Structure 1
């Protein structure tokens, strides 16, 4: 986007006159009532008519130095549209471009301005200025324009200005995008400014020699020579003409050479061309027509949101034409959005899919699309043959390629979604070939709009549009190379996954590569797949998938790989590595099933057998986590100590964090704090480069445990600071499992300190993260914390059902680290609601559950709660005994904060 044009004093559009300096808007000479903010928006848009102005730019212009919500902008734009009667009787002034901003799309003139404006139509030069002869005469020959176009207002406005200003524009883009439709509309809008607007359809021209003959025939010239080019040029020099050259790609050299001569030798002729690749000649300016806007994701899609996207609007309009008016429901909105997204917003593809709705319905159409039947779906009978089906459209493009280009395009269809140039060269080329030749072919396919390219973080990323990929996959199968290329693809991604073990390594895989990893895994485990490739790929890929917190998927693939291990790979290091992924993903997504413990034990046995030091550390980390979660605090302490014995220097901090957590849970707070402080003394790697063992980061949950230790030992203000630090670092990790663990432990500090606002915010983050990533074991933990918060705020009635449900679920999932504490808080809430008998039963069970494995950090608090229940029931002696036992534990464990709470109950006993 270039710099804004110099502002004019007055702008004309439709029946309106906008006086920018005087800040007045007139309609047919009468003042229009409009607010100051809306007027600022209008002036900004009109000054840069045809451009898409970003929402941030508009907000900065209209509300300088003030922070406002985007909703304020929408309100004022709506008021502006109402004042302009936008949409009434077909009038269009302002369009919203989803995800980008707003554009003023009506023609604008500046009749009283001495400053040239990009919005001012260029009046054609008078014939006398170039020749004293009478101008040549030719009749306009434009096809009829569509009565209504969807989602192309900004493109048409920009193209209209560009053709006026540059004289030569080529609209480029893949087949079926609607290039001709847009070009015809632009030509109709511009035709009053020219003697004639002439449409030259080059689709039927079969060779270079036919190009000038087709133009001459359209101009009505009598051809007297074999090459009519001189007569065409002589004719065009004498007229101001708009020449629309449609479908140039198959005769691109011939039409490019002639168009260049017309541009140079006929200065009053304006050229608008359409092609699947640019002509690449002098004078040409390119307009890359984008697909219709589609949702990037269908998560939480509603009908209102879906209808903001032009592709969805077009789908519903075309579907309604054959199936009757359709009112999109919230239930069907994600389905329609996904159809349009899969079709990449290609207008022809969307229209063809919409045509199926009258027969199969919306859901049936989506199911058919999954089976790739869309290539053969037929459109309007009146459409050109190459536009009647997607297959015909793609046949046209494919047939224009040379053999080498066809081969590369076929092979690229193996990629699912985006791919890198390095990946393309590794898979589509041959080892003994010069890679530069393949690079040139890929560049040619990009230029021909068959491969799309975008720059992401300074690096090019490529992809095939969905329908191009479906078409070329069929061609790949027909070629007999499908299995060869699929094997190359799987080997390549097995190698890339191994190289990406360190997430911070240059060029490491990221979530954009997930589609290709899935595709490679599917092929590897198919009947056509290779067991050796499947083994190597599954070991490496599941670790990458696990790192991206896709636990359910990691669990499925690692389980499937273990089942498919051949005899030679059983009792091997490969089995050990797969067991690690399976046990991690199962524990954090489903809970603490006994099978998880057996998997950890088996993996540790294999790691020791093969001298795999890192494997040993990983499985001991897993045993620590499993033991802690299931309430076996001594077992967690022993596993952490064993991990420290095999840890290398880089792993020692993690071992000390684990030991600190185990000692804290087991009730040895002084030793736990010392271990956490020792972990703090080690250098800390940045969040994005930090290694995680057994599927989670040990530092951030360790910091949260350290915050709990500080509170328990009476350092309450410092505890709050460390809790906030832990949550902040956990968020920066962008690792959901580690973040949930951190929130689970840190929130307790806010609750114990009665910082209710901070506690509520942390609980909401825990709930959002666990639900978004389907981390079921944290659902109950979040519910427990929410119940404890409500109880602390005095809403005991609301707290009881939450705490009861959470306690049941925590026990069912063997989350014994939390279940007894949750039961104790439930007992206190039951006491507060007047149910002392039930409260006493619940707290007794919680205490027994803890004492069965020895001491724990929360036993003093459980005794305090029991004492309060007994005191409220008039059982003073029993209450005093509970306080005595609680004080004994609190003092021996070094927890003055629990001690102070127990002393408050003691004071109540003495005053009763």
Structure 2
């Protein structure tokens, strides 16, 4: 049997859950086509195995490329988001207002294999994107899957036929599964449900007939194979023949192979119980993978008890009508697109579909509300990842709001806790139109998801569309204008930012809504600060801070921190160090338990300290920010912190290290689309740093150091900056060597404490600091360079949030006392 074991996971390609059977000729042909064409489109009927074949081809050829990227377009309905979806799959953020250019630049910088999966419903948008990328990125290769070709000039189309089947009178041989892929797949999948199943002289005729009846369509074979648990092959063929007789008039408008697949799915569907049929057809409302909780809420009722959901899902998995996946340890389920289309067609009618769409929308909108309620606290990291998993569902929910005629379909939402009320202080519940509900969720996602992830283009896309659909004046509309302005400002789209800021502030003041005025004043303050009017900025920001005081909803708690960070920066620019320090200390108090805000408070605080020339504190705070950014997977802030450390190195005369870090930051911008936020004076500081480094290293020396930095991964640079790099590993090796020699210091070391935030070497140095040793004495004791010791002490201060050796000594002594107790 032509069978291939599961490959290890490559890039963002999903790991194989079952063995790959057959298709060796097709894989060879795809490899050949990619050598002569840069776009190969696999076409064929649904269920023929286009996706599986494309993924296998990509996985087998990954060594020929720097990067392999899968962009699954199954759940996407809006052609305007194709570029953003592909960019996100590649690991890019969309800080640029020209995401297509950013994606093109990223792909042009390396040899990439891009898999565009399920393009048929977005054919024109996919064709335009593929054509553009192939013109810009000479090393790019694309494998696309679609039910029809994309129509791009350089495209090579490869029709994917069903698996090969033998003739009815083919002689029985032991190699029949190897000779005919359809037989091989059936035998392989049959063994998954019946381990003792084997092809024999007795069942050979029935196996061949079954494969022929199913036209060699892989999905049909997979569905039929699970029935062998209850039926013999002969009985399965007999029942399948009866079913076809009953369905000869059913598949109007379908090709013969489509009728075959349609009939097979219908047969599997009719074998389900009433409850199984009902819940499965309702699951067609999910555009992408989903979890059990969503099924329990959206798909139950009217004949399906929520208590039965798990058993029903388990049955559908067993019958291959659902696919089980794991994402970050969370179990989720997916329905193949072919099956989803069939299931949707088996709903009772448009009323049931409309009710499911509304239930889907309400469920995911409530999910956003829960994320907002729990954002500031220990579950922030969970919600950050969860919203990413639900991206396709949130898109579908907002699209549904825009599709409601006149916004008539109302939603009842809780208010008061999340900063989306129409009047200050309103509580309880209120009924809102569908479009208003969509705008409310869009403003929440701006805070919780789009801005933290740097998905600015997508955030602006939805806010712009929802604003256009809900022109009535409201506090929510004013806030939405401000979030749109904020994202436009980060993208340096100043014209749009100015226009939206003015509209948002004017509307907020006219309505007199405290929260909206506070938010609009903050955004306006940022705008004028960037323009260099620091005095006016301070006035606006103080108004914003005063408006936020006392408000407990998540956007307000985040808004006041941002306003204070910006206000502290204005104070720094005006030389008011005392006020800047007071505001920075206050932001640290307010961001306890709010990692996404705290990292930016730390970064901007470090930047302000650098401006004032306090390099030691700037380094310590920047390292704290870098550590927290790594923990929260914030690539944008990682890049910003590394740039700040480059400025510090330059100021300290470590010119080559500074240039090296700038190269790392450039590479981070290419990989993550997360180049530092260089607005206003930040651009000036960056250019000053570059000018100094070119003067000290020479133009060629600077360029060489930057190139070296670009070859260093961001993870390596962060590890080195935080002190847990190869140097530290070498020091640990020295320590092990000394311990093996029975050295006095090693013999008296306290055991390593896993709960400490410090590395083993940092813990060792902290204990020596507690004993009163100087850096020189520590270096002599540990037989390491004094500069290495100084670096470790800086890292200890940063990780613990301390500013003096005395604090380190007190902390170490307290921990040792606690262990003795």
- The alignment's TM-score, normalised by the length of structure 2, stands at 0.49
Tell me the TM-score normalised to structure 1 length.
0.45
* Larger Cα-atom Rg: 1
Whose relative contact order is higher, 1 or 2, with alpha carbons under 8 Å and at least 6 apart?
A: 2
